[in-house]
Structure 1
Amino acid sequence: MTVTHRWLALSTLGLFFFMVIVDGSIVTIAVPAMAAGLHVPTSQINLVIAIYLVGISGLLLTFGQLGDQLGRIRLFKWGTLLFTIGSALASLGISLPLVLGGRLVQAIGASMTMANSYAIVTDIFPMAFLGRALGVESIFISLGALAGPGLGGLILAYLSWHAIFWINIPLGLFCLIVAWRVFPASSAPAQTPTIDWPGTLWLITAAASFYVFTSTLLTQAVITLLSLGLFTVALVQFSQVERRAVKPLLDFAIFRHPLFSRSLLASFMSFIAAYFFTLLAPIYLQVVLHTSSQLTGLILMIAPAIALVANPIAGWLTDRYPQVRVMQWGMVLLVLAEIGLVLSNGQHEPWVLGSLSILISIGTAVFSTPSNTLTMSSVPAEQRGMAGATNSLTREFGMVLGTTLATTTYYGSLSVLAGRAALTVTGQVPQHLLHAQSVAYLAATILLVIGLWLIRSRKVMTA
């Protein structure tokens, strides 16, 4: 594979990763328009979001396992085709069942590509360039995580809601063409693939119950408790099934390597903490500081703009210096930024928040790039699909859990201060909002400190 083809393949993987992540959040801003167009209540449109997120989370490990058996590039091509077909079905918008069917097909295709993307990058790049390669892919992931609502709003300003789906079709076809022309050919599978169906079913059950738990936490106590119980049972059953399986979705022996397990757990902490800022920063800017929507959007775009530069530099650092050491530098920056958010009191804004956004973006790049590199390079080649899928699953669960913890911590503190249940920021005392924000960011700081401790231990440094 030539150097040009290698970097073109990386750009294609990144572009598709961007589309898959954007499609997880772009629908949120289109909920009213979709409800009106499909003649259904807005509550039913939430199923369009749920079926996509649950489908991806429940199938990631299955397609990581299949990628290790059938070939990761083969799975990526199939996933790209399915995602494009699903986008076409959803874009028709004839009825809600058709849109849901399209979203399910999208989710299956997305999980195929996400499960194998990290492993493909690790396969096609020499170890000396792996940090830089994963740093470039991280650019697309960072942009995708932040661009969904903004891109959706831009599309809806000029086109109907159907466009948020059909815009994927030309991009998907482009990625598919490049994959067929540039990616290395997949060899024929050596044996009939084995799918761990019991493990898959329990993981889907866990993903679905976890989504219900997080969605009803502040509003429906009975459903919350029932879904939490089902989630716990599903996790226990999944663990037992995987320990007995001949070819498990998740081989727990992979966690015996301290570089893999501790790096993955520290990443999980950082994913959770990241969504505290994602949720609370817009509230702080618009409700506490009364910043205009235009200025709020510009301030929130600082982080992804900095990521365009920070991620490639982080990749270079990862290839040049000890990866664990670079991770520590990044985590220290994240801890310092989070402490700054705890101390934010509305003074000298928006300069303070803008500066902290820059620090967060740099810290995230400097931590996540070597973390991804360590995660993928610390396992045998035949387990890279499993490792990449586990890494993606960690991000998905971290996103949901981070949103849940930020919401419960923030509104829980606000309720205590207000002396009554507070489920909205409208009409709240500004000082109460600032105090609740500080409590929430303090919780995120604790998570990041735990992550720093995980990668500062002697066991990791000497592994």
Structure 2
Amino acid sequence: MPVSPSSSSVAALAGLALAILLASLGASVANVGLPALAAAFRISFQQAQWVVLAYLLLITLASVNVGRLGDQFGRRRALQGFGAALMLALGMAFVADIAPSDKVGRAMGLLGAMSAVGTALGPSLGGALIAGFGWRAMFWPMLPLGALAFGLVWRSVPAPSGPAAERPGFDVAGSGWLALVLAAYALALTLKLDHAQGGFGALNAALLLVAAIGCGAFVRAESKAAAPLLNLALLRDPALAAGLFCNALVSTVMMATLVVGPFYLARGLGLDAAGVGLAMSAGPLVAALSGVPAGRMVDRCGADASARSGLAGIGVGALALALLPSSLGLAGYLLPLTLMTAAYALFQAANNTQALTGAAARQRGLVSGLLNLSRNLGLITGASLMGAVFAAASGAADIAAAAPQQVAAGARAAFGLAAVLMLLALLASAHGRRKAALC
């Protein structure tokens, strides 16, 4: 590993950061384009939402697979070939390879900042392009930015080394079972199959049962595979297991700001569409500005202490979101949101650094894939769980037409649960740290 940054490592980091930006920009641009797609193809808004849902499902299904492929066949080759799933899954693994050991944290922070920039930029850029040129135009920026990222990665990221014969074969059975598990779980939590009651129906429960059975089959297949997709011994590392668990909980909590936030801002605080958009952009903007400083804090204070501080900050922010907006209005929403997103940037930089620097070089792609897998599972869980808690606590038959007091009650319940989940994450982190010290 280099001891000081070279021009090639700087260019490589720039290419990886641009790839991360493209992945997040693509998702956020697609979100803002849903109404235009619904009108263009004469479909319902719920049907149009499957554009984004399919994107999230594909990334979730691909996370571990692409990390394993990158470890086997070279992360540069994989990054060029498989799009957003590989950008997200392998970008962090590359950073751990090319960044100086004392600057991995700030490099991780940079990637987090670029992801937030893409999320924040997507709605405004996509909206302007759609308004001026139609829905197809929202994909135009991907072409020049993708070409630039491709060139930087091609020229600057190190090619794989070692003869191909030394790389193990691909685990087809494990990949199949994992795909079944993740697809069934994601569909169970996202499909509203019981339209009469609008809630969790028998088919949702059946999908969860399929996921549970498939999980057992996956573990059995991996224990017998000559070259398993997932080395189960990795999950016996208490520090890594705790980090993955906390990563999923944090993503679940942060999803509450995206699911609950728009309804609370519009129905609870009475903001118009433009006001809701501006308030919602505050989170990604704060994350973008705090990414690199958070990485520097990780390098200075250590990944473990920084991760705990991030978890505590998210928990305090969630508790404040449950209590303050009813008395302070919009300021009572934005100030806790600022704390939560800054703490989220700190946790991500610290947790990613801790997980990847502690992994062997030949397993960093897989660990990076697991980090993205846990994040996406958290997002899917958060979208379902937080939305369900919010709707149930509001007591409204139709949340879109709920009274301000009902929306406020739902938000208090959702963000109160978020604070409890962060307390659970802190306890899990402390338990994992104690077990790791005993090993």
CA separation in 1, counterparts of 2:81 and 2:435?
37
Give the direction of change, closer, same or farther, for the CA distance of 1:355–1:42 in structure 2 (3 Å limit): closer
Which residue, out of 126, 134, 138, partners 1:160? 134
Aligned position for 2:59 = 56
Question: Does the 8 Å CA contact 1:455/1:461 hold for their aligned counterparts?
Answer: no
1:295-342 deviation digits (Å, cap 9, x = unpaired): 332222222222233221111111112321111111111111111011
TM-score in terms of structure 1 length: 0.86
The amino acid of 2:411's aligned partner reads Q
Pair 1:290 & 2:280 matched: no
Aligned position for 1:140 = 114
CA separation in 2, counterparts of 1:313 and 1:40?
44
Task: Give the deviation of 1:8 after TM superposition.
Answer: 2.4
Q: Superposed, which structure 2 residues align to 1:422-461 within 5 Å?
A: 422-426=397-401, 428-457=402-431, 459=434
Question: Does the 8 Å CA contact 2:268/2:403 hold for their aligned counterparts?
Answer: no
Pair 1:5 & 2:41 matched: no
Task: Give the deviation of 1:396 after TM superposition.
Answer: 1.1
The amino acid of 1:8's aligned partner reads A
SS, match of residue 51 in structure 1? helix
Aligned position for 1:174 = 148
Give the direction of change, closer, same or farther, for the CA distance of 1:120–1:25 in structure 2 (3 Å limit): same
The range that moved more, 289-298 or 275-284, is 289-298
Task: Give the deviation of 1:188 after TM superposition.
Answer: 5.3
Give the direction of change, closer, same or farther, for the CA distance of 1:235–1:22 in structure 2 (3 Å limit): farther
SS, match of residue 247 in structure 1? coil
Aligned position for 2:70 = 67
Aligned position for 2:372 = 392
The range that moved more, 227-236 or 23-32, is 23-32
CA separation in 2, counterparts of 1:268 and 1:355?
24
SS, match of residue 33 in structure 2? helix
CA separation in 1, counterparts of 2:283 and 2:191?
30
TM-score in terms of structure 2 length: 0.91
CA separation in 2, counterparts of 1:398 and 1:144?
20
Aligned position for 2:195 = none
Task: Give the deviation of 1:343 after TM superposition.
Answer: 0.8
CA RMSD of aligned residues (A): 2.2
1:357-386 deviation digits (Å, cap 9, x = unpaired): 221122112222111100101111111111
Which residue, out of 362, 367, 379, partners 2:347? 367
CA separation in 1, counterparts of 2:12 and 2:119?
21
Pair 1:257 & 2:237 matched: yes
SS, match of residue 346 in structure 1? helix
CA separation in 1, counterparts of 2:219 and 2:98?
32
Aligned position for 1:327 = 307
Pair 1:186 & 2:166 matched: no
Aligned position for 1:273 = 253
Task: Give the deviation of 1:145 after TM superposition.
Answer: 4.2
Aligned position for 1:86 = none
Question: Does the 8 Å CA contact 1:9/1:178 hold for their aligned counterparts?
Answer: yes
Task: Give the deviation of 1:229 after TM superposition.
Answer: 2.1
SS, match of residue 340 in structure 1? helix
CA separation in 1, counterparts of 2:345 and 2:35?
35
Pair 1:316 & 2:319 matched: no
Question: Does the 8 Å CA contact 2:24/2:116 hold for their aligned counterparts?
Answer: no
Pair 1:236 & 2:211 matched: no
Residue correspondences, number: 428
Which residue, out of 88, 91, 97, partners 1:117? 91
Q: Which runs of 5+ in 1 are unaligned?
A: 80-108
CA separation in 2, counterparts of 1:236 and 1:151?
44
CA separation in 1, counterparts of 2:23 and 2:104?
22
